[in-house]
Amino acid sequence: MLGRKILGLAAALIIRVPFCFADSFSLSLTGALNNTEASFSVPVTLITTGTINLQTYGFGGGANAAGSVIPAGGFDPFVGLFEGTGAGAVFLNGTSDELTNYAPGCPPAGTVTIGSVSGQCGDVFLSFPVLAPGTYTVILSDAGYLPNAVFETSPGYLGDGFTDLTGGAFQTCYDVNNCNVDTANWALDISGTGGTITEVPEPSAAVACIAGMLAIEALRRTYLKRTRRKISG
């Protein structure tokens, strides 16, 4: 009977903790910044060597990975990835349409008309194909509110702060005569392999997995002790 209970508990834990042995992950996030000098961050933990992909939709709109339709009209964003968390996190890469390394994410995001100039992309796609196990920090901000780490030739850190080139307003300009006033809305898809996203304040998958495994091991030892007693008796 105890052996069956162990199997039953193991099955229940696998059902309740679907990330224990998951290889791929995906999360669609939306929100609004309080002002142009605000940013959004989310940690991503890779349990094994894996990948992280970042795609925004807030500027041009489109259908995100969750199937939600994102309206156009949000600000053109900066998106970047740091290795680690907190002030000591090391900058890996990041881009916005105000930087020379801009990596446009259109499609799948849409394009907009800026003033009288049509077909303009302001969304971002970034891919990190080979990352070591560990925790990473995704940063999203206005395209003109840039981490100082972007400008540093030696390793830059999240704690180095930001440079504000926004002029205090959410707007996108093609030139001095063609500008749009943007909303503070953003939309970001984070996907990849080898890990989990710990954006929600719940026990992480790794912790839940360990707890489940410990519970199974405790029951297994109890079962073995009872079996040995029966054999010795």
pLDDT digits (tens, 9 = 90+) for 187-227: 999 999 998 776 544 333 444 444 444 444 555 565 455 54
Residue 232 lies inside a defined structural domain of this protein: no
136: containing domain: 24-203
Residue 215 lies inside a defined structural domain of this protein: no
pLDDT digits (tens, 9 = 90+) for 82-108: 999 999 999 999 999 999 999 999 999
The tokens 């933990």 sit on which residue? 45
Q: List, as one string, the DSSP characters of 184-224.
A: SEEEEEEEEEEEEE--SSS--HHHHHHHHHHHHHHHHHHHH
Backbone angles phi, psi at 49, to 5 degrees: -55, 130
This prediction's pTM: 0.75
Q: Is residue 77 reached through a cis peptide bond, with omega within 30 degrees of 0 on the bond before it?
A: no
Residue 5 lies inside a defined structural domain of this protein: no
CATH number where 180 lies: 2.60.120.380
Instruction: Please tell me the predicted confidence (pLDDT) of residue 195.
Output: 84
The number of folded domains in the chain is 1
Residue 144 lies inside a defined structural domain of this protein: yes
Counting every residue written for the chain, the total comes to 233
Residue 107 lies inside a defined structural domain of this protein: yes
Task: Please give the average pLDDT of every successive group of 10 residues along the chain, which has 233 residues.
Answer: 43 38 83 96 94 97 96 97 96 96 96 95 96 96 96 93 94 92 97 76 42 50 54 53
User: H or E segment at 9?
Assistant: helix 2-16
The tokens 């996190």 sit on which residue? 89
Residue 233 lies inside a defined structural domain of this protein: no
Which residues have CB under 8 Å from 24's CB, separation 6+? 191, 192, 193
Burial class (CB in 10 A: 0-12, 13-18, 19+), 81: buried
Residue 4 lies inside a defined structural domain of this protein: no
